[in-house]
Amino acid sequence: MSSQPAVEVQDLRKEFIRRDGGGGVRHRRRRKRVAALHDVTFSLTRGECVAILGQNGSGKSTLVRLLSTLLQHDGGSAHVFGNDVFRRPRAVQRLVNRVSVEASFFKRMSPAENLSYSARFYGMTPRQSREAIPRILERVGFPPERRGEPMEDLSRGMQQKIALARALLVAPVLLLLDEPTTGLDPRSKLEVQGFIRSIREQHDATILLCTHDMAEAEALADRIGILHEGALICLDTADTLKRAYGAETVEAAFLAATGRQFEDEKEDE
Amino acid sequence: MIRLDTVALRRELVGFAGIVERNTYLIRRFVWWEVAWFLYTVANTLTIVFIAKGAEAAGYKLDVNRETIVLLIGAVVWSYLGLLFEIVTETVAWERWEGTIEYTFMAPLSRPAHLLGMGAFAVVYGVLRTVLLFGVVSEFLDVTFVHADFGAAMVVLAASSFSFVGIGMMTAVLPLISPEKGTQLGFIAQGLLLVISGVYYPVSVLPQWMQWLSVASPATYTLEGARKAVLDGTGVAGLWGDIWPLLLIGVIAIPAGLAVFAQGERYAKRHGRLKRSG
């Protein structure tokens, strides 16, 4: 397992069917295929952290959802530790977990309840999770006295910590982080970033971080890729990217590579 | 190989238990909503069962005790089926709303374990609630269950659960395909199933084409079997004619439900529908 890439993506393509607005009774709404990802190729070595930068709608979430087995591809291939994501999804599911921009929990249930049932989906018995949950909550700095409170009473930062705890509870070897700090206050953001750093130091986890936070990408990742309109236009270290685009910052390199500002956002898929 | 299969089976059983555990937490967290919904169901059932007394008061000649029990069983089976469909279908819709659907569907839990877990919870909770509903509503009525064989009625309800869960799995896919109206389509399926099955009347009063359809409906045999058990005291042996069709439909409906759901899941994965909608 150690000699093969953690993630190997080759010419990966995903299209969605979009309906044109077409107002009026006499105008039928036309359908057209829109490429969310086209011919994306890259690989991650075991233990590496790679950040993918891109605006909303660039295809970051589509990439994460494809690797999470939540989408069927329209071409190319993707392997996680040698397992074909689309032909052997169950094998991939045992290796992967993710944290997305929305914490996504049953809001009335407590952190302990949410973690407990989801651990069961990964084969963790009640005895195993009873021991593991307090430990993981302590690691993410979650106050023990609030374990029984409904998720809806917790701040977004707290909820995102629980999301990280949920992902780590089942010890994934590939962690997919889809804008994990978007919308967090600066303090929570730093805490979550610090925790991601500690995961890298203490676990043998490979991380794919999709973000539009340039500083976060530079601080956490070994390499940075830029995804623009569904195409991965570059993937290298931050210094190499800056040199390649004659830029002083990653943000300037992004601008030079895409010709766009982050503010020029469009609807996500 | 055998060792591997044992590990895989154990993993599936643990995942199955996880689904039951999650739904138990949800019921506990929404306990007051469950109480309110139960009271509504009691009120709704009462509006139906008093029709027999109302008919007598209006001058119609009928066996009020018998007709009240006929209506009561129809209303209770409707409630049971409604709850079963609600738990199996709405859990998928609920997961879409909360966003947990992505985490559930990316987990290494097989879809049969997932759906059967929901079905098992729905049956256990549904049976408990149905027994309670029957008991509470009976307290409002001046009816006697002289010959009733409640044990046999429970056997009929248990036998019907396999086919109802199978059909529930088919309707559970609807929120994946249509996030906005999928759940309501599940309720439509429930209504259609009961209207052809003689929920408050004998199947013989239906138009001929509806009577043909009623042969394939598990609700037909559930209602007939439960009524024979409660009204006439027919035992399990005497109810075999209603039980075997239920088991047969169950044997077909569960694999069919899993296949329909798998097809729907493939569609959702191809079109990007397997994501939060809230």
* CATH code for residues A7-95+172-258: 3.40.50.300
**Spatial separation of the C-alpha atoms in residues A162 and A99, rounded to whole Å:** 10
User: What mean pLDDT, rounded, does chain A reach?
Assistant: 90
User: Where do the structural domains in chain B lie, given as residue ranges?
Assistant: 2-271
User: Where do the structural domains in chain A lie, given as residue ranges?
Assistant: 7-95+172-258, 104-171
A133-137, A160-164, B74-78, B174-178, range with the lowest pLDDT: B174-178
**Spatial separation of the C-alpha atoms in residues A7 and A4, rounded to whole Å:** 9
Residue B19, min C-alpha distance to chain A (Å): 7
The pLDDT of residue B210 is 96
* CA-wise closest residue to B160 among B188, B106, B204, B122: B122
- Contact status, residue B45 vs residue B129, Cβ threshold 8 Å: no
In this structure, is the dihedral angle defined by the CA atoms of residues A65, A71, A75 and A76, taken in order, positive or negative? Answer: positive
**Spatial separation of the C-alpha atoms in residues A120 and B15, rounded to whole Å:** 5
The pLDDT of residue A269 is 41
Nearest to B14 among A90, A94, A123 (CB): A123
- Contact status, residue B28 vs residue A120, Cβ threshold 8 Å: no
Is beta strand A7-19 parallel, antiparallel or unpaired with respect to A223-228?
unpaired
The residue-averaged pLDDT of A162-186 equals 91
**Spatial separation of the C-alpha atoms in residues B230 and B37, rounded to whole Å:** 26
- Residue A24, judged by CB atoms within 10 A of its CB (0-12, 13-18, 19+), counts as exposed
Give the other-Cβ count within 10 Å of B239's Cβ.
23
The pLDDT of residue A17 is 87
- pLDDT more than 90, % of chain A: 68
Q: Across the interface, do B103 and A116 touch by the CB < 8 Å criterion?
A: no
Supply angle C-alpha B48, B49, B53, rounded to 5. 115
Give the ipTM.
0.90
Residues in chain B: 278
* Structure tokens that stand for A86 in this block: 């689309």
> Which residues on neighbouring strands pair with residue A16, listed in sequence order?
A34
Helix ranges (DSSP H) in A24-146? 60-67, 89-93, 111-121, 126-139
CA distances from A227 to A113, A246, B112 (A): 37, 19, 37
- pLDDT more than 70, % of chain A: 92
**Spatial separation of the C-alpha atoms in residues A223 and A216, rounded to whole Å:** 12
Chain A positions contacting chain B at CB under 8 Å are 16-17, 62, 65, 68-72, 90, 93-94, 96, 98, 100, 102-109, 113, 116-125, 150, 166, 269
- Contact status, residue A71 vs residue A62, Cβ threshold 8 Å: yes
In this structure, is the dihedral angle defined by the CA atoms of residues A84, A39, A178 and A267, taken in order, positive or negative? Answer: negative
pLDDT interval class at A31 (50, 70, 90)? confident
Element (H, E) at B276: none
The pLDDT of residue A139 is 85
**Spatial separation of the C-alpha atoms in residues B151 and B154, rounded to whole Å:** 5
The residue-averaged pLDDT of B181-191 equals 81
Query: For residue B110, which residues of chain A lie inside 8 Å, CB to CB?
Result: 90
Location of structure tokens 């952190």: A111
Element (H, E) at A109: none
Residue B76, min C-alpha distance to chain A (Å): 29
Query: For residue B96, which residues of chain A lie inside 8 Å, CB to CB?
Result: none
pLDDT interval class at B278 (50, 70, 90)? very low
Please tell me which residue of chain A has the smallest CA distance to B278.
Answer: A104
